[in-house]
């Protein structure tokens, strides 16, 4: 017994000596903040400077001497981008980097299903882990301010509440697997054209009520580990080193403890970068070599120029230590996190998620005479028209461009589903000729020598014979057609699409228009086309998802995350002449004042009593729903309390389906100008035919608040409010009045 006790004691002493030998920064039993302090105290000036700027296109160094691995970032946000060369945008030509393309974030937002956002994040993280990426450059939550916005497809629509509810679970899902989100582009990055030069002037109220809430939710509720500064300027200073945006709002007011990463090439000034809150610089001189030095990275604003200023005594290491602290925190959350799972690429589960999100996000905009779903018994001949039926949409559009293992094209999906019908295809118009993007070829030749007249004639001749015509059109991620770096030049559909549709309608009115895009467009023939489906850029499973909705295997339940304007003058940014701003005399800066203020999307059309083509929150189903009368659990609420509204929802049709119940708040009296209504809660319910469920939506007083510019804070005024409840922003059949005391 004595011998046993002695050996246990000596074993414990050995273990404790070993534990004592582990430096604190490597000791996983110690609190992270203590480990950060320890690591920081061991780092040299050179090591500190090294970790706050890039060493290649997408990576920054760890601290080799101390055992911190390099940090790898990658785009984002719809799949894991293929590897590029060390210093170049060109592809590295790897064979292990073909990924699953998940639907673009507009489609995710259109599901109005936060659970799917969580799944999206988790699945994307698994793909990233397999590829050894630690930071995914996304999600993007810039607000859909104008339908010309080139990158709207990468974002979550026009409404701050919807975007907030969808971005939080995406981030939580991603980070639950040890992969950092890098929420972008913070903030006001609503112009792609001249994006480095646009200086946004905006009221504090519009900033806080419209453009910041999704970022704030990403930080405070999602717990985002990093955020990407935007290219544009705010109050005359670039957002990647803007003290108000970064030091004041993000870090001080919201308590962000993560890393501010510059957008690639978004950093312009060493002093501002040091003082104004940037932590990690990427992409300056974007080919990484143009500074003419053997190692351009040493010449980054936060590299040797910063070190020199410290050595000369202009700066102490106070700011540097703060940046390094944040970067180390990111290391512990990602590269140093030994608990993170192993990833896997292109798994069946990832394809299943991509398909599910695509199917739930597709929006049935119009369906007269129940043309959809296509009757499988009576439909013998289907004509598919349109270039977008055969064009890969995962390739192109800018940094979100992917190299996919598979992408089912709409035509192939339709052929695979409608096996009993004869499927014919004509292109109808000549649009995109891009054969490859960022080293990924689209596979199918879109080369065409025939004239437009010949193409139209061919479409018309074949349409005459068809039982139904499916026109797959829209935008296509070419320059100016939903693409980074350029906004659209026109709100109309490009190429000869409208002309071909009109010509087909003359011979066959049984036309289903499937629109591929991340934006609305004028649809001049809308009254004559019975069925319209918004099918977004939906990734790897596009064709299967579209076909499953057209065939009725899936009952559509997507809802528009933006107002589909009939014309541009229904949009506040255009109607007020604010967009795209005015060049200063020196042609260096464009001043763009957001004169529409808080009146973005439905807030503008409501205030001007305009009828858009399709309202925010609109989306049909193959079944019908009835929303009953709303009741509330109280008549008077207090500022620190909550109020709940309950409505019975019944599936009155004969198919199972989902409906999204939306609650909007209208302030009935206020010191300030208030929108007619604002979305403040929603819930999606799945109902069998004949089934009724009570849906309860709860809000707190923050849902009644506006941003008070004099107090620089949110304010919930006592008084009368109305809760409007229904299934779209223009279909709110039941309301309930209540008081805030
Ligand atoms: C884009 C970012 C992207 C980065 C890296 C920039 O041009 O604006 O969204 O993450 O490039 O590819």
Percent helix, strand, coil in the chain, to 5, is 30, 20, 45
Q: Is 254 exposed, middle or buried (0-12, 13-18, 19+ CB in 10 A)?
A: middle
> Is 263 marked active-site?
yes
Q: Specify the pLDDT at position 15.
A: 46
CB 513 within 8 A of CB 385: no
Position in ligand 1 atom list of the atom nearest CA 231: 8
Angle between helices 114-130 and 348-361 (to 10 degrees): 150
Q: Is the CB–ligand 1 distance for residue 184 below 6 Å?
A: yes
pLDDT level of residue 291 (50, 70, 90 thresholds): low
CA of 77 to the centre of ligand 1 (A): 10
What is the per-residue pLDDT across 194-220, written as a single tens digit (0 to 9) for each? 999 999 999 999 999 999 999 999 999
How many whole angstroms separate alpha carbon 78 and alpha carbon 564?
23
Least confident interval from 283-287, 408-412, 454-458, 619-623: 283-287
pLDDT of residue 433: 65
Best CA proximity match to 187, nearest among 128, 131, 222, 145: 145
Residue whose CB lies within 8 A of the most ligand 1 atoms, among 150, 484, 485, for a mutation test: 484
Ligand 1 pocket member 186 (CB < 6 A): no
pLDDT in tens, 686-697: 999 999 999 999
pLDDT at 1 over 60: no
Q: Round to whole Å and give the CA distance between 410 and 511.
A: 16
pLDDT digits (tens, 9 = 90+) for 526-585: 999 999 999 999 999 999 999 999 999 999 999 999 999 999 999 999 999 999 999 999
Q: 235: Cβ–Cβ under 8 A, 6 or more apart, which residues?
A: 199, 201, 242, 244
Q: State the pairing for strand pair 706-708/713-715.
A: antiparallel
Residue 130 CB contacts under 8 Å (≥ 6 apart), including other chains: 342, 343, 344, 345
pLDDT at 435 over 80: no
Q: How distant, in Å, are the alpha carbons of 83, 268, 551, 582 from that of 57? A: 10, 17, 45, 33
pLDDT bin (cut points 50, 70, 90) of residue 289 is low
Question: What is the structure's pLDDT at 7?
Answer: 54
Mean pLDDT of 454-462: 98
Judged against a pLDDT cut of 90, whether residue 444 lies above it is answered with no
pLDDT: which is higher, 447 or 376: 376
Q: Using the predicted structure, report yes or no on whether residue 193 has a pLDDT greater than 90.
A: yes
The answer for residues whose C-beta is within 8 angstroms of residue 14's C-beta and 6 or more apart is none
CA-CA distance, 511 to 470, in Å (whole number)?
6
pLDDT digits (tens, 9 = 90+) for 696-736: 999 999 999 999 999 999 999 999 999 999 999 999 999 99
- What's residue 438's pLDDT? 80
Q: For 39-56, what is the mean pLDDT?
A: 97
Give yes or no for residue 75 CB within 6 A of ligand 1: yes
The confidence score (pLDDT) of residue 654 equals 96
Question: Tell me, what's the pLDDT at 89?
Answer: 85
In the prediction, which pLDDT does 442 show?
A: 76
What is the band of 432 on the pLDDT scale with cuts at 50, 70, 90? confident
- Quick one: what percent of the chain has pLDDT higher than 90? 92
Residue 548 near residue 417 (C-beta atoms within 8 A):
yes
Q: What is the Cα gyration radius of the chain?
A: 27
Instruction: Tell me the per-residue pLDDT of 83-138, one tens digit each, with 9 for 90 and over.
Output: 999 988 889 999 999 999 999 999 999 999 999 999 999 999 999 999 999 999 99
Catalytic annotation, pick one of 263, 279, 432, 482: 263
The mean predicted confidence, pLDDT, of the chain is 95
Residues 6 or more apart whose CB falls under 8 angstroms from that of 49 comprise: 302, 303, 304, 306, 307, 320
User: Can you give the pLDDT at residue 293?
Assistant: 53
Pick the residue whose CA is nearest to atom 4 on ligand 1: 264
The minimum-distance atom of ligand 1 relative to the CA of 140 is: 9
Task: Give the model confidence (pLDDT) of 161-186 as tens digits.
Answer: 999 999 999 999 999 999 999 999 99
Q: 152 pLDDT exceeds 50? A: yes
Q: How confident is the model at residue 16 (pLDDT cuts 50, 70, 90)?
A: low
């Amino acid at each position: 017994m004595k011998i046993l006790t002695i050996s246990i004691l000596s074993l414990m002493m050995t273990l404790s000596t070993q534990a004592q030998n582990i430096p604190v920064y490597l000791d996983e039993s110690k609190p992270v903040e203590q480990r950060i302090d320890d690591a920081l105290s061991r780092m040299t000036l050179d090591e500190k400077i090294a970790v706050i700027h890039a060493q290649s296109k997408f990576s920054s160094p760890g601290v080799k001497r101390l055992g911190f691995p390099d940090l790898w970032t990658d785009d984002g946000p719809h799949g894991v981008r293929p590897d590029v060369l060390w210093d170049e945008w060109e592809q590295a030509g790897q064979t292990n980097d073909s990924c699953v393309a998940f639907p673009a974030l507009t489609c995710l937002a259109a599901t109005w299903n936060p659970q799917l956002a969580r799944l999206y994040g988790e699945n994307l993280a698994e793909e990233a882990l397999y590829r050894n990426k630690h930071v995914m450059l996304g999600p993007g939550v810039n607000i859909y301010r104008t339908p010309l916005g080139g990158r709207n497809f990468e974002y979550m629509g026009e409404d701050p509440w919807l975007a907030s509810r969808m971005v939080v679970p995406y981030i939580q899902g991603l980070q639950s697997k040890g992969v950092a989100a890098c929420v972008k582009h913070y903030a006001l990055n609503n112009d792609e054209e001249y994006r480095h030069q646009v200086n946004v002037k905006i009221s504090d109220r519009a900033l806080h009520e419209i453009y910041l809430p999704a970022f704030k939710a990403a930080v405070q509720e999602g717990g985002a580990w990093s955020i990407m500064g935007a290219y544009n300027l705010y109050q005359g200073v670039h957002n990647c080193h803007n003290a108000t945006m970064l030091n004041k709002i993000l870090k001080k007011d919201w308590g962000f403890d993560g890393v501010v990463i510059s957008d690639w090439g978004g950093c312009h000034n060493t002093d501002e970068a040091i003082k104004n809150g940037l932590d990690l610089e990427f992409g300056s001189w974007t080919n990484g070599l143009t500074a003419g030095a053997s190692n351009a990275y040493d010449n980054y604003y936060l590299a040797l120029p910063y070190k020199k200023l410290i050595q000369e005594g202009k700066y102490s290491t106070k700011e540097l230590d703060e940046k390094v602290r944040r970067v180390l925190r990111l290391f512990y959350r990602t590269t140093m996190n030994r608990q993170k799972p192993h990833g896997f690429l292109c798994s069946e589960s990832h394809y299943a998620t991509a398909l599910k999100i695509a199917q739930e996000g597709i929006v049935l905009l119009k369906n007269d005479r129940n043309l959809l779903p296509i009757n499988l018994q009576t439909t013998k001949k289907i004509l598919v028209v349109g270039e977008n039926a055969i064009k890969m949409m995962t390739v192109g559009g800018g940094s979100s461009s992917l190299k996919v293992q598979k992408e089912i094209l709409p035509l192939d999906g339709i052929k695979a589903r409608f096996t009993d019908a004869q499927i014919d295809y004509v292109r109808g118009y000549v649009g995109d000729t891009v054969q490859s993007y960022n080293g990924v070829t689209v596979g199918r030749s879109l080369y065409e020598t025939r004239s437009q007249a010949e193409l139209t004639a061919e479409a018309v001749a074949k349409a005459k014979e068809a039982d139904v015509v499916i026109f797959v059109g829209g935008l296509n991620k070419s320059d100016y057609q939903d693409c980074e770096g350029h906004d659209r030049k026109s709100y109309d559909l490009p190429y000869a699409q409208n002309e071909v549709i009109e010509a087909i309608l003359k011979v066959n009115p049984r036309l289903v228009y499937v629109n591929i895009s991340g934006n609305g467009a004028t649809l001049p023939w809308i009254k004559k086309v019975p069925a319209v489906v918004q099918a977004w850029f939906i990734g790897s499973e596009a064709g299967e998802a579209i076909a499953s909705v057209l065939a009725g295997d899936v009952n559509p339940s997507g809802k528009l995350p933006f107002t589909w304007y009939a014309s541009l003058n229904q949009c506040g940014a255009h109607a007020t002449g604010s967009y795209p701003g005015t060049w200063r005399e020196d042609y260096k800066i464009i001043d763009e004042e957001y004169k529409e203020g808080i009146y973005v999307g439905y807030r503008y059309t409501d205030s001007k009593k305009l009828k858009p083509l399709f309202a925010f929150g609109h989306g049909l189903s193959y079944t019908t729903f009835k929303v009953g009368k709303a009741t509330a659990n109280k008549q008077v609420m207090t500022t620190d309390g909550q109020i709940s509204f309950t409505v019975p929802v019944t599936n009155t049709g004969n198919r199972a389906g989902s409906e999204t119940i939306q609650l909007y708040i209208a302030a009935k009296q206020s010191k300030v100008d208030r929108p007619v209504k604002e979305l403040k809660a929603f819930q999606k319910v799945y109902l069998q035919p004949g089934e009724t469920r009570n849906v309860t939506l709860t809000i707190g007083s923050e849902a009644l608040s506006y941003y008070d510019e004099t107090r620089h804070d949110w304010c919930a005024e006592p008084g009368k409010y109305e809760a409007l409840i229904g299934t779209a922003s223009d279909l709110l059949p039941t309301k309930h009045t209540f008081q805030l005391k």
